[in-house]
Structure 1
């Protein structure tokens, strides 16, 4: 079947009954490595959120490729980036689909796409104080620090979160992870790249070291409402942004248990306009 030419993004709260049911029977669907990782959490809440987020990832991949979630298996590539393999009823498997997963508090976000590098990050805004965010921003790239310096506190706090999530999403897509320390060698440091936010979509303006993968990179901040900040990074060689239009959405925000939020809180039309691509 033909895959949609846009990433599928699902953002959900993890405290609903469908997630509780999935976690209860996680031995039926979680891989041995996922079960081992879950068993290593001391806090039961952390264990629950880890398993619930991985079940959400399976549901997202299943929706993307049109199969039940239990037929989706998560693995990783050589750089540690998540991949999904979808098994057929006859034991065959599809080409691997790229997946990115993020969770913060009781919220999780998943991005799914084929033939592209993808990274997603979501943050619950209230989990970090403005003073803590401003302290972190002192480790950002000098270009970003200069842009933040002239802003009032509310706008500066918002833009710090936007920059942070963009860096996290980009580092996930690269497969390096993000280091909180400047000058990191084996991971992308907070000062290792710079983004501009005063353009229609965020632009990567600086990267150190200067070697950049060949893919064309596209970045978005996701419209997730006042409580959440999210970002998406996608790298693909043969795609460019298309003219936008009010067609079916690529981003879906879910309430408790993955149920749809009220219509006025869905993001389909606006998010699709931001993420639509042309081949």
Structure 2
């Protein structure tokens, strides 16, 4: 059963639900009252529940599910009331000021900042790393502990403030933190089993890609593709990123079939880009 479940109403239409789990599971099920609203992959311990009504009380629970489909008992229910939006609240908060931080061991960082100002009130602060939100805290807090980081790694964090209408402030100054050295966990951050099959269709030339996402503490939703040593494009999944084999047809336009070298890398849940996959050499495709 997931523990330490918390629910933070950071806007008028959404609630940020977080929890702790001591064992690896396939997925978490998030419930609003008696209704399951989201499935979350086992490496993630937070999610935003959206589509809610302003100024409304809700209750949330979380269950863990293993690969055989067994589901745990529900966590303790936690209440959260979405915020009411003041009429005419359109002005975003100011940027949080004087952001600073330091490492807390090999896998965490402590961040502190000065409060932002808003015409009505700040309701939440989001911590970003590499353009990815990695943590959120309530608007009356000006400190956060970011976990799930890698040992001996240089990170750059920024903080933004939000109000009840979900207006976002500019980013704070960047905070660089170098985590302490520690024993690696032996897991590779590189995508595995990359294959690339050329294909010529009526509308152009394609490379049909297939790979296995790296095993990390969270969901991988974006990959960078490099062709012949140069960055080509970013592949981003919105909803339901693949946790098993990922597949993508890479369009190469009207260029005739040619030999290529191809590699990819994943954006990890901590906002950093992981290691490159093994480079694959692709032979030209026939018509």
Q: Normalising by the residue count of structure 1, what TM-score does the alignment of the two structures yield?
A: 0.26
- The structure carrying a bigger strand percent of its residues is 2
Q: Normalising by the residue count of structure 2, what TM-score does the alignment of the two structures yield?
A: 0.26
**Larger Rg over CA atoms:** 2
